[in-house]
Structure 1
Amino acid sequence: MATFFKNLIKNKVMLFMVLPGAIWFFFFSYLPLAGTVVAFKEYRFNRDGFWASITSSKWVGWDNFKFLFSTNDAYTITRNTLLYNIAFIFLGLILSVAMAILLSELVNKKMAKIYQTGMFLPYFLSWVIVGYFAFSFLSMDRGLFNQILGWFGVEPISWYSEPKYWPFILIFVSMWKSVGYNSVVYLASIMGIDKSLYEAAMIDGASKWQRIRHITIPMLSPIITIMTLLAVGRIFYADFGLFYQVPRDSGTLYSVTNVIDTYVYRGLKTTGEIGMSAAAGLYQSVVGFVLVMVSNFIVRKIDKDSALF
């Protein structure tokens, strides 16, 4: 115990630096964990407050979890959530790494910063704004795409009534919004690579592609693994704004745009069952935790230095 307090005093400056973040995590990440009991109750709010409402609400056990799996939509929302996230993980990884490498190879660094800023900006746009951007291109009457099709004598397409196009549209919009932001992590890693490695490779006659293939990509492999593991942990989560705002909540597109998050939201609006929503969130968190642990265990067996922990 004496050693603990001695180390505490010795590192007090560093501890004060992390104190604001620790307080934030305590109040917004750890303290709310006690509220997960709502997932096992038929929650009914009363005027005595949140915790009093939990105490007085009826215990229903696993009944709230049946909400996700007892309907005909269970397969559809699970399939859509998994397949979209798998596409986002792999395409996002490839495009982000490629973008970071291209930016690092630009000779004119001022132009590289301009390009980087231009790719970075979409990340800060809300999905509501992005949804209106998409509508300006896909609108049946005034959409840019339909106007271009009209110039070539092609009949306009009712984009918001044709499910077959939307997997490609959603993946494209997601990549457009996120790739620039995600590439910053890989670009920072590339900037930290020892330049003498590239100089030695140039002296040996290695081409630009050979330097990228044998130096840049192997040196990026640890951060690529870590970012992939973190993404796998959220594979049962879907970006609500992307799947709700961009398709404009069109009922004809539910077969390809309905995911766990939008399904729970619509269910909450219809039934008002907070316990069901809490059950869905708990389910997503537990599955994500298990996936991260299993994936990290596999990576650790293959390459200990590339594991997350």
Structure 2
Amino acid sequence: MAAFFRNLLKNKVMLFMVLPGALWFFFFSYMPLVGTIAAFKQYRFSREGFWASLAKSEWVGWDNFKFLFSTNDALLITRNTLLYNIAFIFIGLVLSVAMAVLLSELVNKRLAKVYQTGMFLPYFLSWVIVGYFAFSFLSMDRGMFNQIISWFGGDPIQWYSEAKYWPYILIFVSLWKSIGYNSVVYLASIMGIDKSLYEAAMIDGANKWQQVKNITIPMLSPIIIIMTLLAVGKIFYADFGLFYQVPRDSGPLYAVTNVIDTYVYRGLKTSGEIGMSTAAGLYQSVVGFALVMVSNYVVRKIDKDSALF
């Protein structure tokens, strides 16, 4: 015990630095875990508060989980959630790494910072604002795209009624908003690569592409694997704002915009079933945890040093 307190005093500065993040995780990630009990109860509101209502609610076992799997939409929302996230992970990975490499190769560092700031800015915009941006381009009457189509003699497109265009629109909007943020991680890793490796490659006559292929990408592989593993853990989560705000909750688009999160939200809005919503969140968390463990196990078998843990 004495050794424990000595270690606390020795590392007090570091511990104080970690304290805000630890408190955030405790209050917003660990304390709410108790509320997962609602996934197995028929939760009913009362004036006595959440915990009293939870204690008095009737146990229903796995009935809340049947909501996701007993409807005709179960396969549709699962398919949409998985396919969109797979596209976001792999296309986003390629574009983020490419953008980081391009920024690192710019000779004018002030110009590189301007480009980096411009790419980083969309990440801070809320999906409500992004949804209105998209509407300014896709509006039937005054949208920029329809005006351009009309100038060339074409017929305007009812974007918010034509589902076939929206997989591409959603992927583009998501990548536009996130690539700048994700590229910062890879750019920081590139900045940490020993410059003598590039100097030696230049002496051997390697061009820029050969330097990127044989030095940059191999040196980035550990962080690429870690970021991919973390993304795989959220593969059953969908960005609610992207799939709800950008398509403007248009009914004709549900076939390609309805994902687990929006489906649960609409169900919660119409039925008010807290237990059902909690069951969906628990299902997503458990599946994500299992995917991270399996993916990490596969990576450890291939390359132990590249594994997350």
**C-alpha distance in structure 2 between counterparts of 1:135 and 1:16, whole Å:** 46
1:105-120 equivalences under 5 Å are 105-120=105-120
Tell me how large the CA RMSD over aligned residues is. 0.8
**C-alpha distance in structure 2 between counterparts of 1:290 and 1:200, whole Å:** 43
1:58-137 equivalences under 5 Å are 58-137=58-137
**C-alpha distance in structure 2 between counterparts of 1:272 and 1:76, whole Å:** 22
Counting aligned pairs with the same residue, the percent is: 85
**C-alpha distance in structure 2 between counterparts of 1:114 and 1:5, whole Å:** 48
For these two proteins, the number of residue pairs brought into alignment is 309
**C-alpha distance in structure 1 between counterparts of 2:218 and 2:7, whole Å:** 38
Shift of 1:293: 0.5
Q: Which residue of 2 aligns with 1:288?
A: 288
Shift of 1:23: 1.7
- 2:26 aligned with 1:26: yes
Shift of 1:5: 2.7
Amino acid at match of 1:183: S
Shift of 1:4: 2.3
Shift of 1:10: 2.2
**C-alpha distance in structure 2 between counterparts of 1:194 and 1:259, whole Å:** 44
**C-alpha distance in structure 2 between counterparts of 1:18 and 1:152, whole Å:** 59
**Corresponding residue SS for 1:159:** coil
1:143-162 equivalences under 5 Å are 143-162=143-162
Amino acid at match of 2:177: K
Q: Which residue of 2 aligns with 1:245?
A: 245
**Corresponding residue SS for 1:160:** coil
**C-alpha distance in structure 2 between counterparts of 1:180 and 1:114, whole Å:** 12
Shift of 1:186: 0.3
**C-alpha distance in structure 2 between counterparts of 1:16 and 1:107, whole Å:** 39
Q: Which residue of 2 aligns with 1:45?
A: 45
- 2:203 aligned with 1:203: yes
Shift of 1:134: 0.5
Q: Which residue of 2 aligns with 1:214?
A: 214
Amino acid at match of 1:63: D
Q: Which residue of 2 aligns with 1:166?
A: 166
**C-alpha distance in structure 1 between counterparts of 2:121 and 2:16, whole Å:** 33
Ranges in structure 2 where 5+ consecutive residues have no aligned partner: none
- 2:36 aligned with 1:36: yes
Deviations 1:90-146 (A, max 9, x none): 000000000000000011111111111111101111101111111111111111111
Deviations 1:253-292 (A, max 9, x none): 0000000000000000000000000000000000000000
1:246-285 equivalences under 5 Å are 246-285=246-285
- 2:234 aligned with 1:223: no
TM-score, scaled relative to structure 1: 0.99
**C-alpha distance in structure 1 between counterparts of 2:189 and 2:294, whole Å:** 26
- 2:140 aligned with 1:140: yes
**C-alpha distance in structure 2 between counterparts of 1:293 and 1:207, whole Å:** 39
**Corresponding residue SS for 1:76:** helix
Shift of 1:164: 0.4
Amino acid at match of 1:290: A
**C-alpha distance in structure 2 between counterparts of 1:18 and 1:135, whole Å:** 42
**C-alpha distance in structure 1 between counterparts of 2:12 and 2:180, whole Å:** 38
Shift of 1:48: 1.1
Misfit runs of 4+, over 3 Å: none
**C-alpha distance in structure 2 between counterparts of 1:129 and 1:9, whole Å:** 47
**Corresponding residue SS for 2:270:** helix
